[in-house]
């Protein structure tokens, strides 16, 4: 087996394993393969008699996973995790014991200059997880009415300067269409009043997040997945979700409140300890919630 080439460090690895309570022989879906770190851990825990199904929207993640996790009990599917039932149908699997979703963006995607996820990338502002599906972000920022852009930036980025940013985008694109991530980040920085002390995060963070959520329809995928996953969990099955911002975490929290479907295993979200945050700063905003299928739930 090859050494992992992924730049991504999996968050909350021990907590994922303990909340999913994996046993040898189980069937598990990892709905967000990414760099394959969690999948590798899950595959070790289920052992040779079990199976992990590694799903990702990003064909590059699937290709790397298939190459680097060869020899482990893992099958791969390039798909949206809201289509887990269809993926299981294709594998002739009725129900699984565990599902993990670690939503958002991987460090490999961030580092890939051709995808536009990073503020200083000279690649096109694409921001799609699956580069073959939907509309790239550069097209959206060049065509949408400023009012609609402002709504997206406000709703999905919780950005208080959304109107100013949208007005600036509209003015800049009249002279020349916006193409690269770096150009776009510059436009945003120019639209936001200088703050003292300087903010802890890059001023373009919220707007990039908003556009990424919009082009990938991330909240819609998560909402649908949370509704459909219980129909394919075995009795006593468990779901764990790691999210990185409040919009996602709210969806998970609300879904797990439904006691007809879920026994909530995490009253408050599990967060990374100081050690992990020191080793992997990305883990600072990770929130893990887990739930077990309630008795009698899960019928289609």
Ligand X SMILES: C[S@@+](CC[C@H](N)C(=O)[O-])C[C@H]1O[C@@H](n2cnc3c(N)ncnc32)[C@H](O)[C@@H]1O
> Footprint of ligand X on residues 2-61 (CB under 6 A)?
8, 10, 31-32, 34-38, 55-58, 61
Interface map 208-247 toward ligand X (x if CB under 6 A)? -------------x--------------------------
- Least Cβ distance, residue 146 to ligand X (angstroms): 28
Q: Could you write out the three-class secondary structure of 126-190?
A: CCCCCCCCCCCHHHHHHHCCHHHHHHHHHHHHCCCCHHHHHHHHHHHHHHCCCCEHHHHHHHHHH
- Least Cβ distance, residue 80 to ligand X (angstroms): 4
- Least Cβ distance, residue 90 to ligand X (angstroms): 15
The three-class DSSP label of residue 250 is: helix
Nearest CB to ligand X, comparing residues 103 and 152: 103
| DSSP letter (8 states) at residue 124 | B
Q: Which stretch binds ligand X (CB under 6 A): 101-109, 138-146, 167-175, 178-186?
A: 101-109
Nearest CB to ligand X, comparing residues 106 and 118: 106
> Footprint of ligand X on residues 263-282 (CB under 6 A)?
none
Q: Which residues pair with 75 in a beta bridge?
A: 53
Q: What crossing angle do the helices spanning 181-191 and 205-216 adopt, rounded to 10°?
A: 130
Structure tokens belonging to residue 11: 């968050």
> Footprint of ligand X on residues 174-203 (CB under 6 A)?
none
H-helix segments, 158-290: 162-175, 181-191, 205-216, 218-228, 246-256, 274-279
Interface map 122-151 toward ligand X (x if CB under 6 A)? -------x----------------------
- Least Cβ distance, residue 200 to ligand X (angstroms): 21
The residue count for binding ligand X (CB under 6 A) is 22
- What phi and psi values does residue 250 have, to the nearest 5 degrees? -65, -40
End-to-end CA distance of the chain: 39
Q: Rounded CA gap, 184 and 298, in Å?
A: 45
- Least Cβ distance, residue 10 to ligand X (angstroms): 3
- Least Cβ distance, residue 109 to ligand X (angstroms): 6
Q: Rounded CA gap, 255 and 257, in Å?
A: 5
Binding site residues, ligand X, CB under 6 A: 8, 10, 31-32, 34-38, 55-58, 61, 80-81, 102-104, 106, 129, 221
């Amino acid at each position: 087996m090859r050494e992992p080439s992924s730049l991504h460090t999996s968050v909350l690895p021990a907590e994922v394993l303990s909340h999913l309570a994996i046993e040898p022989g189980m069937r598990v879906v990892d709905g967000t393969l990414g760099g394959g770190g969690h999948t590798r851990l899950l595959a070790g825990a289920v052992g040779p008699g079990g199976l992990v199904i590694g799903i990702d929207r990003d064909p590059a993640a699937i290709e790397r996973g298939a190459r680097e996790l060869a020899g482990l009990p893992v099958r791969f599917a390039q798909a949206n995790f809201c289509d887990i039932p269809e993926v299981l149908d294709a594998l002739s699997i009725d129900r699984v014991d565990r599902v993990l979703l670690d939503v958002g963006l991987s460090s490999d995607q961030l580092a890939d200059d051709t995808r536009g996820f990073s503020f200083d990338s000279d690649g096109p502002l694409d921001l799609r997880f699956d580069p073959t599906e939907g509309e790239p972000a550069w097209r959206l920022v060049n065509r949408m009415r400023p009012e609609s852009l402002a709504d997206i930036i406000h709703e999905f980025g919780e950005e208080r300067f959304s109107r100013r940013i949208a007005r600036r985008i509209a003015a800049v694109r009249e002279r020349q269409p916006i193409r690269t991530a770096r150009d776009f980040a510059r436009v945003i920085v120019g639209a936001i009043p200088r703050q003292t002390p300087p903010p802890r995060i890059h001023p373009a963070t919220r707007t990039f997040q908003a556009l990424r959520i919009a082009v990938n329809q991330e909240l819609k995928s998560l909402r649908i997945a949370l509704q459909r996953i219980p129909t394919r969990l075995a009795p006593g099955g468990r779901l764990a979700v790691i999210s990185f911002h409040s919009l996602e975490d709210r969806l998970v929290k609300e879904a797990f409140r439904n006691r007809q479907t879920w026994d909530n295993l995490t009253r408050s979200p599990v967060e990374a300890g100081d050690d992990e945050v020191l080793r992997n700063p990305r883990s600072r905003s990770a929130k893990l919630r887990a739930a077990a299928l309630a008795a009698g739930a899960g019928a289609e």
